[in-house]
């Protein structure tokens, strides 16, 4: 199992060249988990792509469904106090800290493309780049 952050999931569901590494990660470790915020952030990114006419509304809906299937119910509840403490400890936003807390709670790695997370949470963060 591995926790993935929003940018990894976006790459995975949108596909293309940027999604290749995320797809390889899914083949290596198909049990993805995330805090609930991932789906909200994913919806926001996909909505932006719809508004810019980069994808269609139907594609955005299908991508949300794909993300939910990949997560398979592995949504991790993260305690607010731990999120705030982790954000301060690691120099992250509360949103990014949710992913770090999820990985720490599960005792697994966090796949990310965010340099701030890689720098602030070296104990769990692993790079998923393009």
Antiparallel, parallel or unpaired: β 125-127 and 110-112: parallel
Which pLDDT score is estimated for 129? 72
Dihedral (Cα; 35, 37, 38, 39), 10-degree rounding: 120
Q: Give the closest residue to 99 by CA, choosing from 41, 29, 35.
A: 35
For the chain, which residues score pLDDT lower than 50? Answer: none
Task: Set out the domains of the chain in order of their start, with CATH numbers.
Answer: 2-127 (3.40.50.1010)
């Amino acid at each position: 199992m591995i926790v993935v952050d929003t940018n990894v999931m976006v790459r995975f569901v949108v596909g293309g060249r940027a999604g290749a590494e995320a797809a390889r990660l899914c083949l290596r470790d198909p049990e993805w988990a995330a805090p609930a915020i991932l789906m909200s952030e994913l919806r926001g990114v996909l909505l932006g792509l719809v508004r810019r006419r980069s994808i269609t509304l139907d594609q955005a809906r299908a991508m949300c469904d794909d993300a939910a299937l990949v997560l398979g119910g592995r949504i991790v509840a993260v305690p607010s106090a731990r999120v705030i403490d982790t954000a301060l400890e690691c120099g992250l936003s509360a949103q990014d800290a949710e992913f770090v807390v999820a990985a720490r709670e599960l005792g697994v790695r966090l796949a990310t493309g965010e340099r701030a997370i890689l720098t602030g949470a070296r104990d769990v963060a692993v790079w998923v780049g393009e």
